Amino acid sequence: MDHSLPMQDNIILTDAYRRQFSYLRLSITDLCNFKCNYCLPDGYQGKSSQNELSLDEIKTLVSSFAELGFKKIRLTGGEPSLRKDLLKIIEICKSQLGIERVCITTNGYKLNQFLPEWIAAGIDQVNISIDSLSPEQFELITSSSDLPMIMAAIHSAIEDGFTAIKINTVLLREHLDSQVKPLIDWVKDKPIALRFIELMQTGENTELFNRQHVSANKIKSWLVAQAWNKKNRSIHSGPAIEYEHTNYLGSVGIIAPYSKNFCDSCNRLRVTAQGQLHLCLFSEDGKDLRPFLQAGDVAQLTQFLRASIYEKLPKHYLQQQQTGATRNFSMLGG
């Protein structure tokens, strides 16, 4: 790890390995209405009432993270648009002093209806999960026939001037032909950031992982061979290594969690919809923040977070097939 990185004056939370944290991924619901084969192939199986964080609890949470120098919040699920108070959650995050970017990750459900509302509420960026541009392949992966609507909503948003759009594509061996080249061709004349995500093993997808996993390094090698150049990484960026090309309006990112030193640049923490802090996507268990949140105690929560960060491990252990408590990605939003 590079221990010579300069400290950022406005980033307070730093772990034992000198990693600086400024990015919160906040799950606001476990519920999801898609049946993606790598996450919830049988659909959501939990209770309809999830004891999700209230608006007041979210305000306390965001206030504490902002005090610690966090600049970016990503709202995830499950599927966050299933929360009827999503617009209020966006507004709470957006109005908090110190928070510079509020983003959302969605499966695209009713995107044509919700996207204009999210933009009006102040959302800065939207990540949309699209695992194939083929409607048939998309439905095989997600059990949803919504791709035409999702694509129309994206094109409409771009036409209206909203270009802060990222597309997330989970690499699946069976579907590579309908994923990599068609999607890269698609962003040639569109200001969209495409990201290919290496399939990760969870507690529930081992059989599919063994059958469908393909190394993202293959895509990296192809990009380099096609004269794509690596972009500089912002301190508040996510885990993607991003590439740009002089002949393409869009960009391509690679998220390769099985690559060497992947965790060295980690800058994010995760909180579940029930208020559990996860220091890693694949940590063994969460830390209960609910008592602080229910009491509205920002000061005590901030103190607890300062102490907890030193328990963060130097890396995950996916290579050893240790997936921690993550049964599926709807628990933590990936």
> Strand 125-129 to strand 165-171: parallel, antiparallel, or no bridges (unpaired)?
parallel
Task: In the chain, count H helices and then E strands.
Answer: 10, 12
Between residues 257 and 78, the one the model is more confident about: 78
Q: Using the predicted structure, report yes or no on whether residue 76 has a pLDDT greater than 90.
A: yes
Per-domain residue ranges for the chain? 23-331
Longest dimension (CA), the chain: 55
pTM value surpassing 0.85: yes
Average pLDDT on 136-148 reads: 96
**Residue range 80-138, pLDDT digits in tens:** 999 999 999 999 999 999 999 999 999 999 899 999 999 999 999 999 999 999 999 99
pLDDT band, very low/low/confident/very high, at 332 (cuts 50, 70, 90): low
**Tens-digit pLDDT profile for residues 196-235:** 999 988 877 889 889 999 998 889 999 999 999 999 887 7
Instruction: Look at 318 and 18; give whichever has higher pLDDT.
Output: 18
Strand order in the sheet with 101-106: 229-230, 241-244, 251-255, 193-198, 165-171, 125-129, 101-106, 72-76, 23-27, 268-271, 276-278, 287-288
**What would the mean pLDDT of 315-326 be, rounded to a whole number?**
53
DSSP bridge pairs for 128: 106, 167
Select the CATH number that applies to the domain covering 23-331 from these four: 3.40.50.1100, 3.40.50.300, 3.20.20.70, 3.50.50.60: 3.20.20.70
Local confidence band at 150 (pLDDT 50, 70, 90 cut-offs): very high
